[in-house]
Amino acid sequence: MYYRLFRWFPKSAFSRLMGLLAGIAWPGPLLHAAIALYVRVYRIDMSAFVVPDAGFRTFNSFFTRALRPGARPMDEAAQAIVSPVDGTVIACGRIEAQRLLQAKGRTFSLRALLGDDPAWASFDGGAFLSLYLSPRDYHRIHTPCAGRVTRFRYVPGELWTVSPTGVQGVPDLFARNERLITFLDTALGEVAVIKVGATVVGKIRVVYHEATSNRPRATLLAGTLAAPVALAKGAELGRFELGSTVILLLPPGAARLDALQAGDAVRMGQTVAHAGV
């Protein structure tokens, strides 16, 4: 029903508009009241975050707020692979026959998810972890393990909601929505951190390139960094300017996922897999 109702809704234009509004410096009292209401409705513990002395200047600056040092303890063991975000597990497991689980009764194509990247088959048989970021979650994205950003891929697409409604109701949701994919060269092999756009997501940004998502008339962009960017485990990789989903792909034989299941809450820095099998 959701798919039929919203198939023709201008989701991309609406999301760009919401992103524009979120970036405007509204009058202080109005903005502060809106943020206070948002915090109350979504029961956000602001003690974990850095709040500027003068308050946030835009809603986006609030939404992409930084964590206080030590707010997300991290397992520093070399074999520990950590969650790149705060979120809820949508699905996880093994990539089998080039398919990933979207939700019970639904799978989608690995090749389509990676936008026909030439190396897509190298992840077949590996592990995946899909994480949904709700409106109350911290929306910066971090590295799951130490590595070097060597290349990225921006795949234009639609902007369906990635809430449980979308996951259950939209076929091939994560391979249909736009994606900004970071490839990390790590001790495990190449790891992919896939940032999936969604309705109301104004932009996806990354720290290593000026590429952003949700651009009018965008075309596929496959970028290789002339100077790879080295990032420690847990380093900031990018951010969502309003919510979405991250999918982590690990190559075959590289790691085993911890005992996670759909609906589990995880926090950035929490161990979600261990190197080895």
Pick the closest to residue 212 from 154, 140, 141, 151 (CA basis).
Answer: 154
139 is catalytic: no
pLDDT band at 277 (very low <50, low <70, confident <90, very high): low
Catalytic residue from among 86, 139, 209, 213: 86
Q: How do the domains of the chain map onto residue ranges?
A: 12-63, 80-275
Taking the model in full, what pTM does it have? 0.91
To which residue do tokens 């190449």 refer? Answer: 190
Catalytic residue from among 12, 130, 213, 244: 244
At 172-222, the pLDDT tens digits run 999 999 999 999 999 999 999 999 988 766 689 999 999 888 777 889 999
> Rounded CA gap, 158 and 176, in Å?
6
Q: Decide: 256 and 77 in contact? Cβ < 8 Å.
A: no
> Rounded CA gap, 61 and 70, in Å?
21
86 is catalytic: yes
pLDDT band at 158 (very low <50, low <70, confident <90, very high): confident
Q: In Å, how far from its chain's centre is CA 67?
A: 17
